[in-house]
Structure 1
């Protein structure tokens, strides 16, 4: 497959895995909004529906990965055939991305995919309920070009059943939170993952709360509490990462 139909403008690719159309389409709209890209320059692939197409990484400006209901740490017997296919396709892609240091930014599920490549321990030790948390940049994070303009501590949306407990030596920790030590990291110069969601605004996370109410992120009687938790503080800073990523790699 070729994606070089825009002369002089390589597109970015969004790899998505949400089977539910409403949150899936809203996720794409949010990535478009906060990257500032037009649709023709952000090509979405819904991996839960379609196999990852063959494409030349030299023909794209960068890869973005959205969140997912998939958990890398689930036992193999609990993973659906679709999840196993997606994981195999993502693993092969991430191997090449890391080897070639291709621009990559994975949001939430990116921690699972990139962490698996690193053979990091991924489990439920530092799972976080759907909420707003305070994320703090490390010294390396404050110096990283992707976080340019971010405050040292900022509010971000989270909600995940698994996380990395300790980063391997080849990764650089960029951000942490009191309840989850690995909130953002980098491999090489251009490969990034965040545990928090830089693409979300409050309307977007409310959509996901309703869409995934039966997926084990919160108990049946905790819907209103969860909705209140994401409204407790304004979240505006993390989306800056997406615009900075595009500005850095669009050329």
Structure 2
């Protein structure tokens, strides 16, 4: 453990959804506001002292896509992707004693940085999906404490086409084979959302109802499927990360 706080890194333009996501991460990690600090990377760049100030980084999801044509990306999206690459690079190059967990959209940023391919060929519908740990995942210090098969919540339009160079695959499923991986011992990434409860996820769905993740008219049906799911294991990953790398 490190006495410094963890940093939640927000990459969502929608401030209401971002605030709710922070609360989901905080509740899952069982940390108060002084031990999980928030940075809105959409509006504020990564501070130069971040790698000395924080014990680790929890990066949330976003409606952005790595596979968006570069010509269509805003200056904000390009800047925050560069800042996310700085975080990953600092952890990999031991420029910080901290760790990082990249989730959802940001796994694509990391996959691209490592030289892997991010593809629109591996989307997953909004809702619960089954996740299987690999042999390496079962022995991983963080994921190894989870059930070997568990339910998680997903909603994404792209995914890693394969395990990027230098990464160890930890979790998989049929629709999107790269669900979680580790680089070294302190850099983790998940395609699924590890932090929300089903109720919090449906509230996020309402924000993105018209963003093409599911037919807007099917909201009640999809939300009902989410609320009926038993989603117990993903939050334990956040808790394990905070216990291993967060403030004591």
Establish whether residue 227 from structure 1 lines up as the match of residue 226 from structure 2.
no
Q: How does 1:147-226 map to 2 (within 5 A)?
A: 147-226=143-222
Give aligned pairs, total.
244
Q: Which residue of 2 is the match for residue 5 of structure 1?
A: none
Q: How does 1:97-176 map to 2 (within 5 A)?
A: 97-100=91-94, 102-176=98-172
Counterpart CA distance in 1 for 2:241 and 2:86 is: 23
Q: Which residue of 1 is the match for residue 65 of structure 2?
A: 71
Taking structure 2 as the reference length, what is the TM-score of the superposition?
0.93
Q: Which residue of 2 is the match for residue 86 of structure 1?
A: 80
Contact 1:94 1:113 in 2 (8 A): no
Counterpart CA distance in 1 for 2:106 and 2:204 is: 18
Contact 1:102 1:191 in 2 (8 A): no
Taking structure 1 as the reference length, what is the TM-score of the superposition?
0.92
Establish whether residue 48 from structure 1 lines up as the match of residue 42 from structure 2.
yes
Structure 2, unaligned stretches of length 5 or more?
none
Structure 1, unaligned stretches of length 5 or more?
1-7
Counterpart CA distance in 1 for 2:52 and 2:167 is: 24
Describe the SS at the equivalent of 1:105: strand
Poorly superposed stretches of 4+, deviation over 4 Å: none
Greater mean alpha carbon deviation, residues 96-105 or residues 174-183? 96-105
Kindly tell me: are residues 48 and 169 of structure 1, through their superposed partners in 2, closer, same or farther at Cα, counting changes over 3 Å?
A: closer
Establish whether residue 18 from structure 1 lines up as the match of residue 27 from structure 2.
no
Q: CA-to-partner distance for each residue in 1:151-207, whole Å, 9 max, x for gaps?
A: 100000011011001113410000001211000000011100001111010111111
Contact 2:137 2:144 in 1 (8 A): no
1:56: how far off?
4.4
Counterpart CA distance in 1 for 2:242 and 2:193 is: 16
Counterpart CA distance in 2 for 1:169 and 1:116 is: 10
Contact 1:130 1:229 in 2 (8 A): no
1:220: how far off?
2.8
Counterpart CA distance in 2 for 1:233 and 1:220 is: 20
Q: CA-to-partner distance for each residue in 1:101-151, whole Å, 9 max, x for gaps?
A: 741111212311211211211011110011100100000000000013211
Contact 2:88 2:187 in 1 (8 A): no
Contact 1:65 1:109 in 2 (8 A): no
Counterpart CA distance in 2 for 1:37 and 1:220 is: 35
Q: Which residue of 1 is the match for residue 56 of structure 2?
A: 62
Describe the SS at the equivalent of 1:230: helix
Describe the SS at the equivalent of 1:39: coil
Q: Which residue of 1 is the match for residue 89 of structure 2?
A: 95
